[in-house]
Structure 1
């Protein structure tokens, strides 16, 4: 088997892992950071390669990944998880494997999740009607109780167990724990019920966990000063948390390829754009519908100090690795 043919069987392909020339500036997708190596990280990275790959090919691929690993070592990356990647068991396994690998090679991962499909399933089983307003779930008292039970008690613990089984150590939390998020009612509370917005973020519980190599897994439920629980949009929660942690990168897994120049043409993906370009596309109506809150979340996070924000295709196998460890990416990166 030729090296080129063998590479097609790998998670990391030499054709997409193009190391930046050390004599030229690194591309804008990567920051000039440094990463220490460790035996555990090398072992985890190696295990992602198929065992049928020739040893020399595997070593070559690992060496070509080094500049990208060095770019992000010791930096915080906030990942929002949901959509298609959560509904498919195969994609869920891919996302978790990516998270564990990135954690092992030195990235400080914070994982924020929603769980809309699972909430819908349990509301239907209990005969509670679901309704939405501008993409947000109308949440009365009964619905809020189910949302808390499903997100905090079921989805969160499932993800924690999945990550632990894959070889990392996760800690399950929700926005209420340690007052990570303090919520206030939405301005449209008369229509939305217990849908909240984030008034403040406290990262004091998270920082020692992240520093010590744990992966916090955070359900997007929070409470106000009286203890009343609120349903929080997971994209919003991830963006606010990324800003509070001074994250290097915010990643939103979605059900689309990213931002499209022509929303009806999947081939018109915008690979990289700055905030000014995003605003022009919104003014021109090229960013519309459900993409607006995601893009707005990214722009807000960038305005608060996050270095880059990417909207990536969660339907794509190993999309996190493609975005972090290759120069091709897996969606649209927005820069400030």
Structure 2
């Protein structure tokens, strides 16, 4: 049975629609946080790898940052170590941190590198420890104490926050036509390793590298209003309104905050997209309609 061919006129329309965006992004950096279903479904994984290779071939400098929470949980289950979460963050003792480094810096990172290279790219796997890429410190969580007492400090171990990014290694790799694939592990001044939220790492990289766009892949269409309609073209003022009225809440709140922080401090724009859609990254970059929720700085226009 012969596969149905796309009409040549439709192919021409797609290519001409993509041309101005290829011109706009040529020579610029795009940071993609890769996660969710797109990291699990085999066809979506191959499609993502092809998208990244195509970006590089048309002159864009993609930087991939990946998560791996479910994979870490699976390995911990296999060794009989129970996962514990506080305020949505995994409590990470020294033994758990060893597993995190093995899974994120090893298994997951190298699988993504292999996928991209199989599709014709030249990917290089890194963690934030390589070349001093991601500086970190221990993240301190607090919860309110009894009346008139200071908040209680909660120790969740080797969970960190980004204190700085050294762009030298990224510049070197981009200049040599490599595609960096970054595991979200940072290190402090004493050499202690920390597990860091991948959205936060992607956001800080986008800021430091002056990325044209930050793309956060999720398992939702984007940010929806109370009627289930997709919201887009948001600036800081509109985001704050949506937080105040409860539209942005739960797990979407840190993603939107990360995107807004990035565009406020150096990135051109940020988009939260649905990684369950085949070739979602290309649709966002190279089509007039795009996909997902676009967040821009106050001066970026509509």
Please report the TM-score for the alignment, with normalisation by the length of structure 2: 0.90
Contact 2:124 2:179 in 1 (8 A): yes
1:181 alignment partner, one of 134, 138, 162: 134
In structure 2, how many angstroms separate the alpha carbons of the residues matched to 1:167 and 1:241? 25
**Residue 251 of structure 1 aligns with which residue?**
215
Contact 1:250 1:309 in 2 (8 A): yes
1:79 aligns with 2:43: no
**Residue 77 of structure 2 aligns with which residue?**
124
Paired residue secondary structure (1:272)? coil
Q: Cα deviation per residue 1:228-280 (whole Å; 9 max; x = unaligned)? A: 11100000000001101011100000111111112xx4x41102211110111
Q: Cα deviation per residue 1:52-105 (whole Å; 9 max; x = unaligned)? A: 334454344323321121121111000001112112112111211111111111
1:149 alignment partner, one of 91, 102, 105: 102
In structure 1, how many angstroms separate the alpha carbons of the residues matched to 2:291 and 2:185? 28
Paired residue secondary structure (1:92)? helix
Q: Between Structure 1 and Structure 2, how many residues are aligned?
A: 284
**Residue 279 of structure 1 aligns with which residue?**
240
Paired residue secondary structure (2:234)? strand
In structure 2, how many angstroms separate the alpha carbons of the residues matched to 1:51 and 1:219? 40
Matches within 5 A, 1:186-197: 186-188=139-141, 190-197=154-161
Contact 1:139 1:194 in 2 (8 A): yes
Please report the TM-score for the alignment, with normalisation by the length of structure 1: 0.81
Gaps of 5+ in 1: 1-49
- 1:293 positional shift: 0.8
Q: 1:127 to 1:74 in 2, by over 3 A?
A: same
Paired residue secondary structure (1:218)? strand
Q: Cα deviation per residue 1:30-58 (whole Å; 9 max; x = unaligned)? A: xxxxxxxxxxxxxxxxxxxx883344543
**Residue 205 of structure 1 aligns with which residue?**
169
Gaps of 5+ in 2: 142-152, 298-302
In structure 1, how many angstroms separate the alpha carbons of the residues matched to 2:17 and 2:37? 30
**Residue 65 of structure 1 aligns with which residue?**
18
In structure 2, how many angstroms separate the alpha carbons of the residues matched to 1:122 and 1:86? 16
In structure 1, how many angstroms separate the alpha carbons of the residues matched to 2:203 and 2:103? 22
- 1:302 positional shift: 1.1
Q: 1:60 to 1:329 in 2, by over 3 A?
A: closer
Contact 1:87 1:117 in 2 (8 A): no
Paired residue secondary structure (2:82)? coil
- 1:131 positional shift: 1.6
Contact 2:63 2:181 in 1 (8 A): yes
Contact 1:260 1:269 in 2 (8 A): yes
Paired residue secondary structure (1:79)? strand
In structure 2, how many angstroms separate the alpha carbons of the residues matched to 1:328 and 1:173? 33
- 1:212 positional shift: 2.6
C-alpha RMSD of matched pairs (Å): 1.5
1:224 alignment partner, one of 188, 194, 219: 188
In structure 2, how many angstroms separate the alpha carbons of the residues matched to 1:119 and 1:252? 20
Contact 2:62 2:179 in 1 (8 A): yes
